């Protein structure tokens, strides 16, 4: 029974990974690629690790997999936020069909306020 | 299980395509970050295949090192020193 739940979680997680990396290849812009790839691959890898917990049971590898889930859930959005901030500050432009850029407006407002 | 390893290798090949082709430096940084997370999943599946638990140790340390490398690359993109 727990083997079946583990296999289903593994299949769903690897599907999320495939969709995320497909977005990394196909989307037009650094920011679009970032949001597609980071969210899908974080959720997919956490589901793979949860599948390992269900498949092997609550022994040493299962506890290590739970620890790894906790760490990935904290570190991956932090890294994505840092990359997006660094890319915007280093002057990478948005896709030409993007509608709005709120972060650039905020930074212009801060610059005017400091003057 | 071998099918799962093959699908993850397909994901890693797509990431490496983005590392090679990516027009700007942040594209390559995103692809390397995603590559680290995929390798953690691959270590988890190796744990199931072999039944040995030290692959999970490799996964945990790989996630730590990948996070530190991502933060360092993002600071480098922002144009600041590493201690600010």
Question: What is the ipTM for the molecules in this complex?
Answer: 0.87
d(CA A41, CA A14) in angstroms, rounded, equals 9
Kindly tell me if the per-residue pLDDT of B84 is higher than 60: no
Query: Measured between beta carbons, which residues in chain B are less than 8 angstroms from residue A42?
Result: 37
**A6, A11, A53, A76: best mutation site toward chain B, by most B Cβ within 10 Å?**
A76
pTM beyond cutoff 0.90: no
pLDDT at B80: 63
Of A111 and B73, which is predicted with more confidence?
A: B73
Is A64–B57 a contact, with Cβ atoms under 8 angstroms apart?
yes
> B28-39: per-residue pLDDT in tens?
989 999 999 999
Are the beta carbons of A29 and A95 closer than 8 angstroms?
yes
Which stretch of DSSP H or E encloses residue A46?
helix A30-56
Q: With a cut of 60, say whether residue B83 has pLDDT above it.
A: no
Spatial CA neighbour of A30 closest among B4, B26, B51 = B26
Residue B75 has pLDDT above 70, yes or no: yes
Q: How far apart are CA B31 and CA A49, in angstroms?
A: 21
CA A5 centroid distance within chain: 24
CB of A18 less than 8 A from some CB of B: yes
B45 and A48 within 8 Å at the Cβ level: the answer is: yes
**Closest CB from A68, A71, A83 relative to B74:** A83
- Which B residues in the span 8-37 are in contact with A, Cβ-Cβ below 8 Å? 8, 10-11, 14-15, 17-18, 24-27, 29-31, 33-34, 37
The Cα B54–Cα B52 span in angstroms is: 6
Mean per-residue pLDDT, B11-39: 90
Beta-carbon count within 10 A of A8 CB: 13
Spatial neighbors of B47 by CB under 8 A, at least 6 apart, are A52, A56, A61, A65, B53, B55, B56, B59
The residue count for chain A:
115
From the list A13, A75, A86, which residue is nearest B67 (CB)?
A75
pLDDT averaged per 10 residues in sequence order, chain A, 115 residues:
90 93 89 90 93 89 91 92 88 81 80 74
Answer whether A45's CB lies under 8 Å from A68's CB. no
Q: Which phi and psi angles does A81 have, rounded to 5°?
A: -65, -40
The domain ranges of chain A are 2-114
Enumerate long-range contacts of B16-20, CB under 8 Å, 24 or more apart.
B17/A25, B18/A24, B18/A25, B18/A33
């Amino acid at each position: 029974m727990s083997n079946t739940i583990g296999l289903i979680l593994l299949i769903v997680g690897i599907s999320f990974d495939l969709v995320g990396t497909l977005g990394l290849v196909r989307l037009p812009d650094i920011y679009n690629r970032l949001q597609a790839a980071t969210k899908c691959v974080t959720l997919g890898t956490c589901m793979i690790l949860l599948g390992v917990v269900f498949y092997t049971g609550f022994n040493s590898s299962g506890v290590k997999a739970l620890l790894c889930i906790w760490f990935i859930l904290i570190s991956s959005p932090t890294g994505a936020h840092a990359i997006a901030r660094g890319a915007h500050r280093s002057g990478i432009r948005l896709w030409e069909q993007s509608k709005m850029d709120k972060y650039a407006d905020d930074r212009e407002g801060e610059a005017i306020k400091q003057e | 299980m071998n099918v799962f390893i093959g699908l993850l290798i397909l994901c890693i090949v797509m990431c490496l395509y983005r590392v090679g082709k990516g027009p700007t430096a942040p594209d390559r940084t995103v692809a390397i970050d995603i590559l680290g997370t995929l390798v953690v999943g691959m270590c988890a599946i190796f744990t199931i295949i072999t039944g040995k638990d030290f692959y999970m140790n490799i996964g945990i340390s790989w996630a730590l090192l990948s996070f530190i490398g991502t933060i360092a690359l993002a600071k480098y993109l922002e144009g600041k020193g590493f201690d600010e």
